[in-house]
Amino acid sequence: MNKKAAGRRKLASGNEACAEAALAAGIRFFGGYPITPSTEIAEQMALMLPRVGGTFMQMEDEIASIMAIIAAAAAGKPSMTATSGPGFSLMQEGLGYAAMIEVPIVIVNVMRGGPATGLPTKGSQGDYQQARWGTHGDHPVVALSPKGVGETFTLTLRAVEISQRLRIPVVLLLDEFIGHMREIVSFPEKVEVFHRQRPRTSPAEYVHYSEDNNYNAPYAAYGEGYSIHMTGLIHREDGFPVNNKDTIAWNNRRLVSKIEDNLAYLEDNHIDDDPEADTLIVGFGSAARSAYEAKLICEKKVSYIRPLTVWPFPDAAVRRLAKGRKRVVVPEMNEGQFSREVERCIGPETELHRINLTDGSLITPQRILEALR
């Protein structure tokens, strides 16, 4: 999705920018349940969706919310929900179901402190691993994470596009700080939207899970005159369940290949590399925002990488940048979930320095600067 020329400028929060982008990207169904600190997204969608012919449904809980958007997506409506940690936990079975039946949905998780009820009004990055492994089995999922309000707009656009192209769940990881901070953002008057292509075959010839109908391919929705069978069970090309070993392997490989075959398309990093630096910072989201400020004011030379696509993790880029460095510094607002992925990508000669904060406050540039010195 490419932005057109800048349009109206607005002082907006991250949650408001997310809702604006969702509508611009073509989202026409929102099913959700209010939960701090994501509620403003639902409020904005309830206000704006009817104006463009869309539908807003407040469901009885988060389980119903994700099942509602799955149903709407299966009927051809680009669909989204928004939640926070406890609600995201309840959505995990639905996330796996969406992956199995291959419907495109977007889940916005405005992270707060946990576990359990945790810190409803404080920020966290504690759902990073949950975004990838929260539901059981080998499954495809993409997770994106912005550093501010403007990026929340652009990554919401991208989340919708990826979900539609690959027919997978996409998780957008905000946090309380990004959701509620306000920045001046230029909202484009128009964006190029990826529209699902309808099948070019006749209903008699159409096979919903055919080999050439995995990603970037036309597919049918319920109500368009095609025979579609969807089940959470392992299934063959026509969607009906089967217990054949070859078909089981084919079904699982089909799902995982959505990610593995599209790594170049999915990868998105902000890199500021200094070949002479002996320290590399690796971070994501709002913590990486502070890290970049620390890099800019540090008197030492420092290299920096911030993945915007945090799942799949950019192994190759981190390995390349970490090679030959004395230290890799990883700031994050959890107990080290992100640094575990970084640790896989560095050699034994490189020191891993973790900066973990879980008290609900934002990691400051000053704290990271102390580690850099």
CATH assignment of the domain containing 156: 3.40.50.970
Q: Is residue 315 part of a domain?
A: yes
Would you give the end-to-end CA distance of the chain in angstroms?
40
Domain end among 161, 187, 213: 187
The pLDDT mean for the chain works out to 96
Q: Is residue 215 part of a domain?
A: no
d(CA 329, CA 278): 11
* Bridge partners, residue 183, by sequence: 12
Residue pLDDT, tens place only, 256-314: 999 999 999 999 999 999 999 999 999 999 999 999 999 999 999 999 999 999 999 99
Pairing of strands 29-32, 309-311: unpaired
Whether 31 and 178 share a structural domain = yes
**Burial code of 296-322, b = ≥16 C-beta within 10 A, e = fewer?**
eebeeebbbbbbbbbbbbbeebbeebb
Whether 179 and 291 share a structural domain = no
Our count of domains for the chain comes to 2
Residue 193 near residue 27, CB atoms below 8 Å:
no
Q: Domain containing 364 — which CATH number? A: 3.40.50.920
d(CA 235, CA 233): 6
Per-residue confidence (pLDDT) for residue 62, from 0 to 100: 99
pLDDT at 38 over 70: yes
Q: For 137-159, what is the mean pLDDT?
A: 98
Domain of residue 347 covers 268-372
- What is the reported pTM? 0.95
pLDDT at 2 over 50: no
Per-residue confidence (pLDDT) for residue 1, from 0 to 100: 44
Q: Is residue 345 part of a domain?
A: yes
Q: Is residue 361 part of a domain?
A: yes
Domain end among 187, 214, 248: 187
* Bridge partners, residue 142, by sequence: 170
Per-residue confidence (pLDDT) for residue 373, from 0 to 100: 85
